[in-house]
């Protein structure tokens, strides 16, 4: 298979395995989604979903969040790791959303990425899952699988995102990035497969004998 053929096969296979895909982070509005994605940095979605109910019970919008003492936010979100940095970011972005955006999450990549604690990946998730705009958020897991599947030679998530966007139809991006994440967790994890065991790896590279060493993002 060449790269285009692999992409078509992978797209078809993932649609078969995951015809419907749930959004992994629980949320009820765009502000909750933004905060949940911010908390998910270097933390599992499962842990985030354990922490956010208590946080959102106290404040599910910027106005209420700004009224919570910073130390209270920190104590709640501490299990997610990077507590001081994340709690400060949540408090500060809440203040900015109130003063600059009338308490609403901006529907704009550039404005989102200006918010404290919000990088390109977080902004992409919010634009994709919150607003429905085509985006292809690439985390370390997608970066790893894209290399194992021969879809990119990118040295970082920025290059990988560009390669994947060029390979897959724009209308598939929002669903596909989640499908790849779920497949990676279930069949092709960081500490398993190594490009040799799962069905997609075997189909794309049936003659592969040596484990693939991926370039970390």
- Which position among 92, 139, 155, 175 bears the catalytic label? 139
82-111 pLDDT per residue, tens = 999 999 999 999 999 999 999 999 999 999
Indicate if 108 belongs to the active site: no
**pLDDT at site 178:** 97
Whole-structure pTM value: 0.94
CATH 1.10.1670.10 for domain 3-21+136-204, yes or no, is yes
Superfamily for domain range 30-130:
Hypothetical protein; domain 2 (1.10.340.30)
pLDDT value at 122 more than 90: yes
Within a 13 Å sphere around the CA of 160, how many CA atoms are in the beta-carbon half?
25
Name the active-site residue from 66, 67, 114, 121. Answer: 121
**pLDDT tens digit sequence for 175-207:** 999 999 999 999 999 999 999 999 999 999 999
Where are the chain's structural domains?
3-21+136-204, 30-130
Tokens read off for 6: 């692999």
Q: In the annotation, is 121 catalytic? A: yes
Looking at residue 70, its pLDDT comes to 97
Contact 188, 175 (CB under 8 A): no
Q: Is the model's pLDDT at 216 over the cut of 90?
A: no
User: What pLDDT score does 13 carry?
Assistant: 98
């Amino acid at each position: 298979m060449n790269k285009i053929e692999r992409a078509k096969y992978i797209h078809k296979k993932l649609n078969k395995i995951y015809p419907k895909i749930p959004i992994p982070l629980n949320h009820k509005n765009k502000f909750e989604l933004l905060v949940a994605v911010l908390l998910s940095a270097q933390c599992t979605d499962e842990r985030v979903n354990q922490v956010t109910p208590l946080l959102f019970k106290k404040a599910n919008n910027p106005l209420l969040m700004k009224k919570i003492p910073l130390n209270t936010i920190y104590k709640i979100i501490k299990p997610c790791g990077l507590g001081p940095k994340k709690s400060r970011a949540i408090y500060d972005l809440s203040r900015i959303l109130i003063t600059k955006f009338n308490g609403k999450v901006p529907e704009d990549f550039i404005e989102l990425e200006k918010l404290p604690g919000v990088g390109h990946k977080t902004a992409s998730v919010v634009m994709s899952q919150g607003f429905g705009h085509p985006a292809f958020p690439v985390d370390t897991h997608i970066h790893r699988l894209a290399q194992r599947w021969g879809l990119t030679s990118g040295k970082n998530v920025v290059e990988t995102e560009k390669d994947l966007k060029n390979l897959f139809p724009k209308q598939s991006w929002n669903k596909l990035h989640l499908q790849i994440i779920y497949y990676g967790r279930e069949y092709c994890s960081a500490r398993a497969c190594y490009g040799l065991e799962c069905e997609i790896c075997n189909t794309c590279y049936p003659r592969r004998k040596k484990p693939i060493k991926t370039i970390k993002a």
